[in-house]
Amino acid sequence: MLAKVILDFGSARMRATTVAIPDPGPLERFLPESAPGCAFVRRGDGFVALGEVARFETDTLEAADVWWDEISDHIDHDSEMPGEFGTGPLAVGSFTFDPDRSEDLSVLIVPEVIVGRRGELSWMTRLGPAHRSTALPPVAEPTRRPGGLEVLGGSMGEGVWTDIVAEVVELIRRGEVHKVVLARDLLVRSDAPFDLRHLFGRLLAGYPMTWAYLVDGLVGATPELLLRRQGGLVTSRVLAGTVWKDAEGTDPLAKAAELARSQKDISEHEFAVESVASALAPYCQAMNVPEAPSVLKLPNVMHLATDITGVVCQEAGALTLAAALHPSAAVCGTPSHLALDIISELESLDRGRYAGPVGWVDTQGDGEWAIALRGGQVRATAPSEIQLFAGAGIVADSSPEAELAETAAKFVPMLQALGLD
Ligand SMILES: C=C(O[C@@H]1C=C(C(=O)O)C=C[C@H]1O)C(=O)O
């Protein structure tokens, strides 16, 4: 196990060394069960991170941004691949959806060892005494599937949730707000502490097109990227508008066509695109917002998707951009301050880190922050329980029963990972 060294960054300088390594194979096999570390992987690209040289528990992205800036200034980086995206020292984090209304804290972790891969390039970064060793961390013990699973239900029953949806539809029809995203949860208990690596591995295998994340007990596989900042460019993948496999097994192509024509889904999507584009605009010199969405096909659902790209002003780092973009209309609603109030008043759920930004930032301010969807949280105080979350955007012509079915479809990746499908 790696030692935990919390350094006094106020006085000490920190050395980071990045070396090129041969392809390390599946990254997740380096995660030990006792201290699973962090991971962020899509289509085999990304990293796993072990050990912690520093940890910042906070409630806001802004505070984390200031803290990481300070730490970045104290790191001297010696790299065999300077400037390659994603390589080098970084901070991995997970933020609550609404810090004012959550018992959970946000966290930013500076890992001690990072093993990563992007395309043909593989690397290892170590923080601490300089050494150019290419010896990888040991391959960890095999993962353990959960046993004795019991689905305990959610904070509110399905009937209560659909009543809340109906109430929100009324508010929208009265013109008080345009769109509100409502979520519900599902608590699952096992007869032993969860091996988060097992869930992570199942998500990687079943949902390779998503960003699979594992940070401090939060695990999931999200299709939605709040932002990627890479050099001078920022990209955001906005999703809103969903169809799912129905019991009759309708042809997926027919479903995709239905989604692309659905006025309800298109207007829901437009709110989400508009919220991201207007939040990014002050930080960008130029921006490209495609006029019409495409259809993103996942094994459990299909979404309307728009990729927004911008030329970003140099001083705005990934955490600054995440603070500007969160919460987007895709997970909150429009206008967002009203939607946030309605969520806190009616949803009856502490979302914790669900629907908050999850991802990483490097010392140059580049990074990737996804939206923590299609996941669950295991808390240190209850290691044998996982709380799953799923939500759906409510607009004027939403039907409570259909929204309930949509959230059920969004629970599927985690239920499959648990072996409960
Ligand atoms: C809120 C969730 O998903 C979001 C809501 C969507 C919708 O309402 O159509 C689609 C994708 C996500 O932006 C979730 O997965 O929990």
* 239 CA → ligand 1 middle, Å: 7
Nearest-CA residue for atom 7 of ligand 1: 240
Q: If residue 348 lies in a helix (H) or strand (E), which one and from where to where?
A: none
Question: Relative to the CA of 410, which ligand 1 atom is closest?
Answer: 15
* 13 CA → ligand 1 middle, Å: 43
Q: Quick one: average pLDDT of 31-54?
A: 94
Q: Which CATH homologous superfamily contains domain 14-418?
A: Anthranilate synthase (3.60.120.10)
Q: Which amino acid is at 249?
A: G
Nearest-CA residue for atom 2 of ligand 1: 391
Q: Are 45 and 28 in contact (CB under 8 A)?
A: no
Q: Is 242 in the pocket of ligand 1 (CB under 6 A)?
A: yes
Q: Is 49 helix (H, G, I), strand (E, B) or coil?
A: strand
Task: State the catalytic residue, choosing from 28, 112, 224, 385.
Answer: 224
Q: Quick one: average pLDDT of 339-349?
A: 96
Q: Are 155 and 192 in contact (CB under 8 A)?
A: no
Omega before 32 cis (within 30°)?
Answer: no
Give dist(CA 17, CA 251) in Å, integer. 51
∠ CA 203-209-210, rounded to 5°: 60
Average pLDDT, the chain: 94
pLDDT tens-digit map of 78-130: 999 999 999 999 999 999 999 999 999 999 999 999 999 999 999 999 998 76
Pocket test for ligand 1, best of 165, 236, 237, 239 (most atoms within 8 A of CB): 239
Task: State the catalytic residue, choosing from 52, 112, 179, 255.
Answer: 179
Complex-level ipTM: 0.99
Judge whether residue 41 has pLDDT over 50: yes
Q: Is 198 helix (H, G, I), strand (E, B) or coil?
A: helix
* Pair of tokens at residue 332: 């909150």
* Pair of tokens at residue 303: 């979404």
224 catalytic? Reply is: yes
Omega before 335 cis (within 30°)?
Answer: yes
Q: Is 410 in the pocket of ligand 1 (CB under 6 A)?
A: yes
Q: In the chain, count of helices (H) and strands (E)?
A: 8, 21
Q: How many percent of the chain have pLDDT more than 90? A: 88
Q: Is 392 in the pocket of ligand 1 (CB under 6 A)?
A: yes
Pocket test for ligand 1, best of 331, 388, 389, 415 (most atoms within 8 A of CB): 331
Q: Is 90 in the pocket of ligand 1 (CB under 6 A)?
A: no
Question: Relative to the CA of 242, which ligand 1 atom is closest?
Answer: 9
* More confident of the two residues 251 and 389: 389
Q: Is 391 in the pocket of ligand 1 (CB under 6 A)?
A: yes
∠ CA 215-220-224, rounded to 5°: 105
Q: Which amino acid is at 374?
A: R
Check residue 11 and give its pLDDT.
Answer: 59
179 catalytic? Reply is: yes
DSSP class of residue 104 equals: S
* Pair of tokens at residue 69: 């800036």
∠ CA 318-219-54, rounded to 5°: 55
* Pair of tokens at residue 33: 């069960």
* 296 CA → ligand 1 middle, Å: 12
Give dist(CA 85, CA 367) in Å, integer. 8
pLDDT tens-digit map of 349-390: 999 999 999 999 999 999 999 999 999 999 999 999 999 999
